[in-house]
Amino acid sequence: MRPIPAPLAEHLAADATTLCTCWRVIRTDQVVLGFTDHDRDLTLLGTQFHAASGFSASDAEAETGLAAPSSEVAGAFSSDVITEVDLIAGRYDGARVEVYRVNWQDPSQYLLLKVQEIGEVKRQTGQFTAELRSFTARLNQEQGRTFGRRCDASLGDARCRVNMDVPGRRASATVVAMESGDRITVSGIEGYRDDYFRYGRLNVVSGAANGVVADIETSRTSAGTTILSLWLPLDVSLAAGDRLTLSIGCDKSFATCRDTFANAANFRGFPHMPGSDFAYSYVSGQVTHDGSVLFE
């Protein structure tokens, strides 16, 4: 049974109560934000909880055992608190959410109800809905690796170990125009050959979309500028003059890992694994079986 502080317990036993709900959001970059469904701002645990934020909570589902309970919180975008760009940039992915029941007449009387993390976020017409997951939801995530010929590491991460700070592996560019959500014209990288940044990554480092990341499908130089095609369209617009950082990519093949990056020792795939044609083949009576290798 959860212990309730004596002052709050006394307040709860009264004929009338003055309670509200507060959400304390701690992002992975350690930015802390507070929201409340009360009609004025409150200060609790050194955090200001903003009123009139449009925050409201749905009914929570709870089950016994290790089942992962979940709930939802809805809110409106506010230019000085939470923005659509922040959500698109993934700044709230995996954020820790502490839910409190608070006596708004005396915020020192509060009770921590639960601690959750933000899961799926949906956006539409100036509002968002965020799924709040119990930490037991992590037990439902698949673990381990899938065997395949291609590498399953990300270029430059701790498993890959390729040094991305080597000259030529990153470049700075400036947005000239955004043709569409998945097609951007940039300047500053005309000296690179076509498709130099194929399979690479685009990071927005200035402007309203600062922090947004996208995967590059192709890069083509034309008329003194470079056209970047993205695998998926951006949900935000880039303005002329926005600065980008581009990183080269990798096609995940063993040949590229060995020849381009000299990193064969850290290749995280299985290039010599037989393919499905060999795996599903059957014994042939016209082949001499003398113990020699059947697959090379």
Residue ranges making up the domain that contains 188: 170-247
> What DSSP element (H or E) covers 214?
strand 213-222
For position 88, which CATH number holds?
A: 2.40.10
What pLDDT score does 222 carry? 84
CA distances from 211 to 119, 148, 173, 214 (A): 19, 32, 15, 10
Which residues lie closer than 8 Å to 39 by C-beta, 6 or more apart?
Answer: 51, 52
User: Contact at 8 Å (CB) between 254 and 239?
Assistant: no
For position 185, which CATH number holds?
A: 2.40.10.170
What pLDDT score does 240 carry? 95
Identify whether residues 82 and 184 lie together within a single domain: no
Identify whether residues 11 and 62 lie together within a single domain: yes
Grade residue 120 by pLDDT with cuts at 50, 70 and 90.
confident
pLDDT tens for each residue of 209-221: 888 899 999 999 9
Alpha carbon distance 261, 250 (integer Å):
9
